[in-house]
Amino acid sequence: MHIRVLARLTRIRTYLLTLFSIIALIFLISPQNLFSSRTVIVFFANLFMTAFVYAFNDVEDAADDYDILEKRKRNPIANGDLSRTQGYLISFLLLSIGLFLLLIISPLVFFFGLVLAFVGFFYSWRPVRFKSMHFIDLISHVICLGALQFFITYLTFRSIDLFVVPFLMIILPFSLMVEILYELRDFNVDRKANITNTIQRFGRFDIKNLLITSGVITIIGFTVIFFAIPSEYKMVILFGSIFLAIVIVSKVNRFLKMYCSKTSFK
C-alpha cells in the first residue's frame, strides 16, 4: 500500500505536530522520565489511537465525501484508492496496536484507551454518529481527542492529583475551539450530508468572543503551571509554553483562513 494513501486515510499531518506537545507535557508532569521507554510507548500509543479515530471517520464518511469533490480527492475510500473493507482493517489494526501499547503501560491506562476507542467509534459510526448530535458532538470530541489523551499520558507517569486542573484549562478549551472551527469550516458540506451538529442547529456566532474566552482560560492554565513547578524548570517551561502557543496559534490561524475562505452561510 502506498504510504501517501495511508497518510491521507489517517490524516496524520492534521495532528502530528500537536501530538509532539505530549513530550512537553511529560516534561511538566515527570521530568525525570522524559527520556524513558514509557515516553516512547505513550507517544506512539496516542499516535495510533488518534490515527484510528481519523481513519474510521473517513471510512464512515466515505459515502458523504464522494459527493463533495474536495473531500473525495482527500478521502482514499471515497475516491477508490482503498475499499471499505481495507479501510476497516486498517482502522482496527491501528486501534489494536494503540491498545496493545497502552496495555504494556498499565491496565488503568488501557481502560482509558478503551473509553477513547468507544467514544471515537460512536463519534463516526453511522447508526449512532455522535458528530451529528448537537452538543454531543462537541462533548465527545473534547473527551476523545482532548481529555482522554491527556489522562492517558498523565496516568502513565503519575496518579491523579490537583495538578491536572491547569492542564485541563489548556486542553479542553483548545479541543472545543478546534471542533467548533471544524464545524464552521464544513458548515455547507455538513448541511448537504444531513449532519445536524451544534453549528447546524444554532448557526453562526461570534468566533472572536470564543477565541478570547478560550485564550484567557488557557493563559490562566499556563500561569498556574508556571508558578507550580520547581524554579529550576521555569525557563525550560517558559520556552515550552512558547512552543505550545505557536502550535495552538498556527492551528487556529489555519482553521480561520479556511473558514474565512468559505462562502457565506446560505
Residue 213 C-alpha cell reads as 474566552
pLDDT for 137 equals 94
Task: Give yes or no for a contact between 134 and 202, defined as CB atoms under 8 angstroms apart.
Answer: yes
Q: What confidence tier does 128 reach under pLDDT thresholds 50, 70, 90?
A: very high
Mean per-residue pLDDT for 11-26?
Answer: 89
Burial class for 126, CB neighbours closer than 10 Å (0-12, 13-18, 19+): exposed
Q: What confidence tier does 205 reach under pLDDT thresholds 50, 70, 90?
A: low
pLDDT for 91 equals 98
| pLDDT 10s digits, 141-165 | 999 999 999 999 999 999 999 999 9
Contacts of 92 (CB under 8 A, 6+ apart): 52
